[in-house]
Amino acid sequence: IIVHAGAATEQAGIFASSPQAFNTVYDVNVGGAVRLVQAFAPAMQGAGRGNFVFISSINARMGAPSLAAYAASKGGLETFMKGFALEVAADGLRANCVAPASIDTAMLRASFDQQPDPAAALANMMRRLRDDASLTRRAVSDALDVAESAVESWEAASRNHQRLPGA
């Protein structure tokens, strides 16, 4: 099992962000996945089995203020995973994304701290999570929560190239 959990962001709105910053975020969050696949998939294909798990984000489809580069890159990661999964399914490889809701990290806290009203930004995010019927878990998670959700999702997944909802 290969797990890609790349997470880079720039704490800036769309108009304040540079193209170079978008490229840097994309290189970590999508380019890192490409490099892992290119490094490890050939041996797995030779063995006729293997699993790739990519950690995406709810922001791939919801977006987030001041996290446009991050959200766009996670959307790109999910699309990359789908194409990769289709290319290697016949070789016995599986690929899935786990798309957690917000994970309590320094990166998340920094994004709230940059908002004019951090408490209101957190409350707005929690409202958006509460109102999203597709989520199985709606609270801000910690890393252990995400890992437990990923294991549950992998055990439940029977198809290749799934985007597995929320931690």
The tens digit of pLDDT for each residue in 100-157 reads 776 666 666 776 677 788 778 777 766 766 676 555 554 555 556 656 655 565 555 5
Query: Using CB atoms within 10 A of its CB, is residue 139 exposed (0-12), middle (13-18) or buried (19+)?
Result: middle
Query: Which of 22, 26, 70, 80 is an active site residue?
Result: 70
Return the pLDDT at 143.
Answer: 58
pTM: 0.72
Looking at residue 72, its pLDDT comes to 93
For residues 148 and 64, the model is more confident at 64
Catalytic residue status for 26: no
